[in-house]
Structure 1
């Protein structure tokens, strides 16, 4: 065992004591965070406009600060982008992160000098929690790869601007830099497929022990690496590879294929980073869910997902949440986001400590017929049946078919790219439909009432989804395919 791995265990034990304090004092820390945020921002333009100086309680805060999406916050952000100071947060942002929105096009999210450290600390602590719980620290003695966006940054009014993963690359601790791949030169390659090929060449003969990136793009890397070595398993190419870190999308739809190409059931750590802040990470290999980051400059609010589009939805703090209930996640941050709806839905699977799972996107659902089917439900239905049937799913998306052929009832159309296809696709589809009915009572009622016919699965040829993402200019990086759409835009593109 190397010196780094020995020292990391000592450091992990020290950090775990700090995290234990946060686990036990989550509500108090959240209340403290809210007061700190209000005090620090009371003299900003936003703070003046919303009477921060008069806010004493969370109830006061809710009366003064509305829940907003990016479009509603855009006037303030545009002032920031034009170089104005003290708009949403004191001074100017340290960075602007550039991200893609489903309704707002390109979005620019501020990162302040106060918020930047949390992105690094949370990622570090996720690894340290793993080391402390498992005792496995050998990965720190070898090479680590982070599949991410380009670290090259542009500027807007003197503010460095780029993708979150590219910005974070400038803040990787020095003790990890020598072990980190790909090189800066390769990381700066814009074209994703060219970049993946270059990463394959650069890492092929290295002692890779940890690999991090969102599942679909790591899957591409693994597939190309395996192909380079004549179909070898990743475990035979990288015998010391023991840990995979991911975030951004649910791993379950990719698990079977990644474990097949890797060659064994690899340990994984799930993280929940976003341009708006590092929200949660998996702190245990034994417990379900991700530990909410309650002391990192973010005050969280929650709106029951089924009330989100109401005129006056319920809006609560951490203290009031219930287990196993879908909430839209609202953020107030030390980068100047206020009442900001991030667009994700979460469920609490534990309140001691507060752990969440990401259940979907508030605007990614199907409710063309009143069923309000969400991402968590379609993923569970497909993956559970696929596992039972020994079927390999590469990627999928679902859309409503409201104008079927004459004489047919409407239905949900599933577009699925299989690695290993079912022997009987229609029988497989019926099983998935039954599984979805069990997860969603409204969908069950529509099927039982002959309002909808059972779902239809269209099997797509290999590479269809990669080609679609390429055609949209969204191949690689942090781009993710929506699992659900309430319209036919993606479906029509896949059918063309």
Structure 2
């Protein structure tokens, strides 16, 4: 395997050097033209006259003037439901082989079309990620090790004319033949739908594997590692996988998990972030000197950016019709934007639901800063998940806590607005002190929040519970593993139900 590792590393060095990096603005213009060309004869393309748009002197402006912004509800109600009924050539040429099921964090199951072109796009993006490994100075023997990808079941739900499952399961079921020898947990375990059974089997098989890299959402990876360590009576995960060197958290902010995660390791890992959503493979980290990810600008996805300000979004977190929309060539570094995508799966000017921070315009590098519906702005507090994560990170240091999850909402109680935090940690500490700390930190670091505290936002409260309680809620009302994520912000009605459930647990 060492010889094979040397061969793969040299191939990556050579091919990665040859392939280079495209100019983002130019690549995006060509991507949009290719999308419009291929979809011009679909029902969607005919409605919005893609053929005419292609002859425009300014194809981007013509596209933005003609095609409205869509969220999932609008895309599904107006178009995608026809695909589920078996129609073809609706928003992308041909029929529909896969649907990605996404429970998201704010709604019930969504059905996101995944076309053959999107499967190929995801494969190409994965190759870009592999090529970027040449920048991380990894030893040659790493390239002969196995990769444990913890995702949802590859045993897809079979319907009359299509298959359904989470995007991680669809992607894993389409991995290239050459990669299958490196892929763990392997086809049999990956097909298991029961999370506890899957983790149990991984723990049992762990001594037989030589894992060099991990991939998956931090909360579920951490739970899996703890089970492997417990089952095999280890001190750290490196006792059983001494060659573990790389972890890709999958686009989920790693900072809230850092303190507890590091206790499971004998030495630090190299973190290489990726951004795979149900709607496509968005970005991947390409260099070690930053934690930002580079948008994949030449791979079937056209990106647009809406400044993330209250005047551009309605109370449901949707982009307003009059909002200014920018391309990659027009954004500003250090600014936060709502991300829109148009893709080879037939999503058009689609609100993916994430907000991103532009960190390097020339390299098209971003960081995920939050969710459009996880933006707390009930009484003008204007708190993003990015700011909440920073507050939680400081809270961990101040109180010697390991915070795994948290949920926050602003609710109306006795005619006063109160911001309530439920924090899942490794131990319970004084809630009044926690609430005061969070309140002070956010007041010092967010002027809008500070103003809100002098007006409508009358009080801040916190409840610190063991994180297992939040995971039990996820297991019952969402599910464990895969793409399931704990919401950071809830609406009042949902939060009160969540709070009631948490308090009912012994």
When the two structures are superposed, what TM-score results if normalisation uses the length of structure 1?
0.93
Answer whether contact 2:135 2:287 (CA < 8 A) is retained: no
> Match of 1:391, SS?
coil
2:380 match: 370
1:259 aligns with 2:267: no
Partner of 2:317: none
- What RMSD over aligned residues (CA atoms) do the two structures have, in Å? 2.1
Q: 1:250 to 1:102 in 2, by over 3 A?
A: closer
Supply the distance in 2 between the matched residues of 1:109 and 1:66 (Cα, whole angstroms). 19
Q: Kindly indicate whether the alpha-carbon contact (under 8 Å) linking 2:275 and 2:283 is maintained by their aligned counterparts in 1.
A: yes
What is the CA–CA distance in structure 2 between the aligned matches of 1:378 and 1:221, rounded to whole Å? 26
Cα offset, 1:82, TM superposition: 1.9
C-alpha contact 2:25 2:329 (8 A) present in aligned 1: yes
In the TM superposition, what is the alpha-carbon distance from 1:203 to its structure 2 partner? 1.6
Counterparts in 2 of 1:66 and 1:403: CA distance versus 1, 3 Å = same
Q: Does 1:214 align with 2:217?
A: yes
Please say which of residues 174-183 and 267-276 is displaced more in the overlay.
Answer: 174-183
1:61-110 per-position Cα deviation (integer Å, ceiling 9, x unaligned) = 11211001111111311111222121111111342222224555222212
SS at match of 1:105: coil
Say yes or no: does 1:90 pair with 2:93: yes
Pair 1:177-2:180 in alignment: yes
- Equivalent residue for 1:275? 278
Displacement, 1:450?
A: 5.3
2:493 corresponds to 1:485: no
Q: Is residue 2:473 matched to residue 1:468?
A: yes
Describe the SS at the equivalent of 1:29: helix
Asked if the contact 2:428/2:465 (under 8 Å) is kept, the reply is: no
Aligned to 1:31: 29
Give the whole-Å Cα distance in 2 for the aligned partners of 1:463 and 1:330. 35
Is residue 333 from structure 1 mapped to residue 343 from structure 2 by the alignment?
yes
Q: Secondary structure at the match of 1:21?
A: coil
User: Is the alpha carbon distance of 1:131 and 1:203 closer, same or farther for their aligned partners in structure 2, counting shifts above 3 Å?
Assistant: farther
Q: State yes or no: 1:58 paired with 2:60.
A: yes
Question: Deviation digits for residues 261-287 of structure 1, max 9, x if unmatched?
Answer: 123321111110011110001111112
Alignment of 1:10-49 (within 5 A): 10-17=10-17, 20-22=20-22, 25-49=23-47
Say which SS state the counterpart of residue 456 (structure 1) adopts.
Answer: strand
One of 407, 414, 424 as aligned partner of 1:417: 424
What is the CA–CA distance in structure 2 between the aligned matches of 1:9 and 1:323, rounded to whole Å? 34
Could you tell which deviates more after superposition, 367-376 or 351-360? Answer: 367-376
> How far apart, in 1, do the equivalents of 2:49 and 2:98 lie?
27
Cα offset, 1:420, TM superposition: 4.7
Once the two structures are TM-superposed, the CA of residue 393 in structure 1 deviates from its matched residue by 1.2
| Ranges in structure 2 where 5+ consecutive residues have no aligned partner | 315-319
- Are 1:272 and 1:279, in contact at CA under 8 Å, matched by a contact in 2? yes
Offset of 1:319 from its aligned partner? 1.1
SS in 2 for 1:366: coil
